[in-house]
Chains A and B, each alone.
Chain A
Amino acid sequence: MNAQASVTAKPSGAKRAVRFVLPVIVFAAGLLAWELVVRIKDIPPYVLPAPSVIFVTLIKDWSVLSQSLAATLLTTLEGFVAASIGGIALALLFNQSKWVEASLFPYAVVLQVTPVIAIAPLLLIYLEQQTAVVVCAFIVAFFPVLSNTTLGLNSVDRNLAGLFQLYGASPQQTLRFLKLPAALPYILGGLRIAGGLSLIGAVVAEIAAGTAGAGSGLAYRIAESGYRLNIPRMFAALLLLSLAGIVIYGVLALVSHLVLRRWHESALGKDN
Chain B
Amino acid sequence: MSSVQTSAGVEAGLTALAVSLRGVTKTYDNGVLALGPLDLAVRKGEFISLLGPSGCGKSTALRLIAELSAPSSGIVRLARREGKVQPSLVQPGHGIGFVFQEPTLMPWTSVRENVRLPLKLAGVPKAEARARADEALASVGLADFADAFPRELSGGMKMRVSLARALVTDPDILLMDEPFAALDEITRFRLNDDLLALWRRLGKTVIFVTHSVFESVYLSQRVVVMTARPGRIQADFRIETVEPRGEEFRTSVAYSDYCRKVSAALAPSYAGQSTL
Q: Which residues of A contact B (CB under 8 A)?
A: 157, 159-160, 162-169, 173, 177-178, 181-182, 184, 262-264, 268, 272
B68–A167 CB distance below 8 A: no
B121 cross-chain contacts in A, Cβ below 8 A: 164, 167-169, 173, 177
B92–A262 CB distance below 8 A: no
The 10 closest A-B pairs by CB, nearest first: A159-B104, A167-B118, A159-B100, A263-B107, A181-B108, A167-B121, A167-B92, A169-B121, A263-B108, A167-B93
B102–A159 CB distance below 8 A: yes
A168 cross-chain contacts in B, Cβ below 8 A: 92-94, 121-122
A182 cross-chain contacts in B, Cβ below 8 A: 106, 108
B17 touches A (CB below 8 Å): no
In the complex, which of the residues B92, B120, B151, B169 contacts A177, with contact meaning CB atoms closer than 8 Å? Answer: B120
User: A251 CA to B100 CA in the complex, in Å?
Assistant: 39
Q: Which residues of B contact A (CB under 8 A)?
A: 63, 66-68, 92-94, 96, 98, 100-102, 104, 106-109, 117-118, 120-122, 149-151, 169
B108–A157 CB distance below 8 A: no
A178–B106 CB distance below 8 A: yes
- Distance in angstroms from A42 CB to nearest chain B CB is 61
- Distance in angstroms from A182 CB to nearest chain B CB is 8
B106–A160 CB distance below 8 A: yes
User: A163 CA to B171 CA in the complex, in Å?
Assistant: 14
B149–A262 CB distance below 8 A: yes
In the complex, which of the residues B100, B106, B107, B117 contacts A167, with contact meaning CB atoms closer than 8 Å? Answer: B117
In the complex, which of the residues A162, A173, A178 contacts B68, with contact meaning CB atoms closer than 8 Å? Answer: A162
- Decide if the interface of chain B is mainly helix, strand, loop or mixed: loop
B100 cross-chain contacts in A, Cβ below 8 A: 159, 162-163
A167–B102 CB distance below 8 A: no
A165–B120 CB distance below 8 A: no
A263–B151 CB distance below 8 A: yes
User: A178 CA to B102 CA in the complex, in Å?
Assistant: 17
- Distance in angstroms from B89 CB to nearest chain A CB is 15
A157 cross-chain contacts in B, Cβ below 8 A: 104
Nearest chain A residue, comparing its CB with the CB of B98? A166
User: A169 CA to B123 CA in the complex, in Å?
Assistant: 10
B104 cross-chain contacts in A, Cβ below 8 A: 157, 159-160, 163
27 A-B residue pairs with Cβ-Cβ distance under 8 Å, sorted by A, are: A157-B104, A159-B100, A160-B104, A160-B106, A162-B63, A162-B98, A162-B100, A163-B98, A163-B104, A165-B68, A166-B93, A167-B117, A167-B122, A167-B169, A168-B93, A169-B121, A173-B121, A177-B106, A177-B117, A177-B121, A181-B106, A182-B108, A184-B108, A263-B107, A263-B109, A268-B151, A272-B151
User: A33 CA to B195 CA in the complex, in Å?
Assistant: 72
B122 cross-chain contacts in A, Cβ below 8 A: 167-168
Nearest chain A residue, comparing its CB with the CB of B69? A162
A181–B96 CB distance below 8 A: no
B169 cross-chain contacts in A, Cβ below 8 A: 167
Residue among A163, A169, A177, A182 with max Cβ neighbours from chain B (10 Å) = A163
A166 cross-chain contacts in B, Cβ below 8 A: 66-68, 93, 96, 98
A165 cross-chain contacts in B, Cβ below 8 A: 68
- Distance in angstroms from A181 CB to nearest chain B CB is 5
B107–A264 CB distance below 8 A: yes
User: A68 CA to B92 CA in the complex, in Å?
Assistant: 59
- Distance in angstroms from B234 CB to nearest chain A CB is 27
Nearest chain A residue, comparing its CB with the CB of B122? A167
- Distance in angstroms from A160 CB to nearest chain B CB is 6
User: A169 CA to B169 CA in the complex, in Å?
Assistant: 14
Nearest chain A residue, comparing its CB with the CB of B165? A163
- Distance in angstroms from B76 CB to nearest chain A CB is 14
- Distance in angstroms from B270 CB to nearest chain A CB is 27
- Distance in angstroms from B94 CB to nearest chain A CB is 8
A184 cross-chain contacts in B, Cβ below 8 A: 108
- Distance in angstroms from B59 CB to nearest chain A CB is 11
- Distance in angstroms from B125 CB to nearest chain A CB is 16
A264 cross-chain contacts in B, Cβ below 8 A: 107-108
